[in-house]
Amino acid sequence: MKKVITTEKQPIKLWLDDIDAGAFEQARNLANLPFIFQHVAVMPDAHQGYGMPIGGVMASEEVVIPNAVGVDIGCGMCAVRTSLSTISTEQLKLVLAEIRRTVPLGFSHHKKKLDARFMPKPEVSLDQLTIVAREYQSALTQLGTLGGGNHFIEIQKGDDGRVWLMVHSGSRNLGFKVANYYNQQAINLNRQLGSNIPKSWQLAFLPLGSVLGQVYLQEMRYCVDFAFANRKMMMERIKDALLSVVQPVFFEPMINIAHNYAAMELHFGRNVLVHRKGATSARNGEIGIIPGSQGSPSYIVRGKGNPESFESCAHGAGRKMGRKQAQRQLDLAQEKKRLDEQGIIHAVRSVGDLDEAPGSYKDIDEVIDNQLDLVEVLVALRPLAVIKG
C-alpha cells in the first residue's frame, strides 16, 4: 500500500502514487457514501470510470451499486498453458487467420444462434430475470465473440518456457443491457426515496432487501456466468486453431478470473457485498491473471489474501490516457516501431488503433511492483501475436 487518505468519512487506501484527478474524486465520493463499509481500496491500475474508478474496490452491507460493477458485467481473463515450447512466425500467422475465421470480433456476432446448451443455467427460472429473458435469443448469437475496446486474444511465450493462450472479454451486449437497466432503476428509486447522494456522483443504489436489488444480483450473476461461457467457447476455438497448424499440442486446465462483479464475502468479521470494478479477487493461494498491453508482458499471479484490499488486486495495466487523447497524442510510427522491434504480430495499423497502443497504458511492471503485498508473480508472459476487437 502506498498511502492512506483520512480526510473523508471513511479512509481511502491507495496502491499507487499518481492517481488521476477524476479517479481520485470518484474515490472520495465512494468514501463519503453513508453505507460504505470499512474503507475504499484503489488498485495500482486505477483510472476514471463511470461513478467508480476502474481499479476500485468497495463494500457495503445494505446496498448494491450497479455503476460500481460496471457495464461489462463479468468481464475478465482466461489463460491456458500449452505443451509447446516454440512456435514460428509463419505458424502464428496461420493460427491468427483461423481464429479470425471462427471467432467474431468487434461488433460482429454469429450469423446463426448457437445451441442453448452452451448457455449458463440461471439460478431461478429464466422468466424471473427481466433483462436476461428479453435478451436471451440475441445472446445466443453473442456467445463465443470477442467484442471491441480493450478485449483481446493473445498468443504468448512464458518465462516458464511454454506457449500460452489468453483471452480478455466479457458479457457483450447482454451485460451492457442489464447494467444500464438497473442503473436507471436505481436512479428512479433513489429519487423516490429522496436520497441525498448527488446524482452527479453516478452512484445510484438498490437496497439489498428490495426486489429490485435481489433481481439485479441474480441477473448480474447470470452475466458473470455468461461472460465465463463466452471466454471458454473462444478458448476452445483458439485451441482448435492452434491444432489446425501445429500437432500434437496438449493443454492444461484453463485459468479464469472476472474483474467486474459484486459478491457476498466475509471481511473484517462481517458478511459484506464486495464490488470489484476493474479489480480481481486475490484470496490467499488464488491464481489470477494481470494482463499488460499488447506491447508488454502479462502475469500469472498467486493471491496473498491481503485484507486491506478486500483480498483484491489490479486487473491489468490500466489506462494512462483516454481513447481520444491517445489517438490525438500518440505517434503511430513510433508505436508500430516499438511493437515491430519486439517481433510482435500486433493490431496497431492506423491512427484509429492508437487507443489500444502500448503508449496509452501505464507501465505494467510498475503496476505489479506496487502490489507485491497483494500478489506473488508466478509466470511472466511476453506477447507473440495479438488480435484486438
Q: For 251-262, write each residue's pLDDT tens digit.
A: 999 999 999 999
* DSSP line for 47-67: E--SSS-EEEEEEESSEE-GG
278 — alpha (psi -120 to 50), left (phi > 0) or beta?
A: left
Q: With the C-alpha atoms ordered 77, 80, 86, 90, is the resulting torsion angle positive or negative?
A: negative
- Percentage of the chain modeled with pLDDT above 90: 88
- Convert 21-46 to b/e letters by CB count within 10 Å (16 or more is b): eebbebbbbbbbbebbbbbbbbbbbb
Domain assignment present for residue 149? The answer is yes
Q: Please check whether residue 342 lies inside any domain of the structure.
A: no
Nearest to 295 by CA among 338, 252, 260, 259: 338
What pLDDT is attached to residue 358? 85
Q: Tell whether the model's pLDDT for residue 53 goes beyond 90.
A: yes
User: Is residue 372 scored above 90 in pLDDT?
Assistant: yes
Buried b (16+ CB within 10 A) or exposed e, 53-79: bbbbbbbbeebbbbbbbbbbbbbbbbb
Angle at 99 between CA 93 and CA 103, to 5 degrees: 155
> What is the reported pLDDT for 389?
81
pLDDT score of 349 more than 90: no
Is 312 exposed, middle or buried, given 0-12, 13-18 or 19+ CB atoms closer than 10 A? buried
With respect to residue 180, please indicate whether it lies within any of the assigned structural domains: yes
Residue 327 lies in a domain: no
pLDDT digits (tens, 9 = 90+) for 200-229: 999 999 999 999 999 999 999 999 999 999
Query: Are residues 334 and 358 in contact, defined by beta-carbon separation less than 8 angstroms?
Result: no
Model pTM score: 0.95
> Which residue bears the cell 509447446?
84
Percent of the chain exceeding pLDDT 70 equals: 100
Q: Where are the alpha helices (DSSP H) in the chain?
A: 21-31, 89-102, 130-142, 172-193, 211-243, 323-329, 332-340, 364-369
Count structural domains, the chain: 1
* In a domain? residue 350: no
Q: Is residue 241 part of a domain?
A: yes
CB within 8 Å of 51: residues ≥ 6 apart: 26, 29, 65, 67, 68, 201, 202, 203
Flag whether pLDDT at 97 surpasses 90.
yes
* Residue 158 contacts residue 255 (beta carbons within 8 Å): no
Confidence of residue 65 (pLDDT cuts 50, 70, 90): very high
State in Å, rounded, how far the first CA of the chain is from the last one: 34
And the C-alpha cell for 279? Answer: 479489480
Confidence of residue 323 (pLDDT cuts 50, 70, 90): confident
CATH classification at residue 177 = 3.90.1860.10
Q: What is the pLDDT of residue 192?
A: 95
Give tens-digit pLDDT for 166-203. Answer: 999 999 999 999 999 999 999 999 999 999 999 999 99
Cβ atoms of residues 1 and 27 within 8 Å: no
Which residues are catalytic, by number?
A: 315
Q: Is 152 helix (H, G, I), strand (E, B) or coil?
A: strand
What's the rounded Cα separation, in Å, for the pair 383 and 386? 7
CA atoms of 267 and 305, how far apart (whole Å): 11
Whether residue 189 is contained in a domain is answered as: yes
**φ, ψ dihedrals at 169, nearest 5°:** -165, 170
Q: Is the pLDDT at 321 greater than 90, yes or no? A: no
325 within domain boundaries = no
Separation of alpha carbons 325 and 88, rounded Å = 36
- 105: domain range? 3-320+361-388
Using 50, 70 and 90 to split pLDDT, how confident is the model at 56? very high
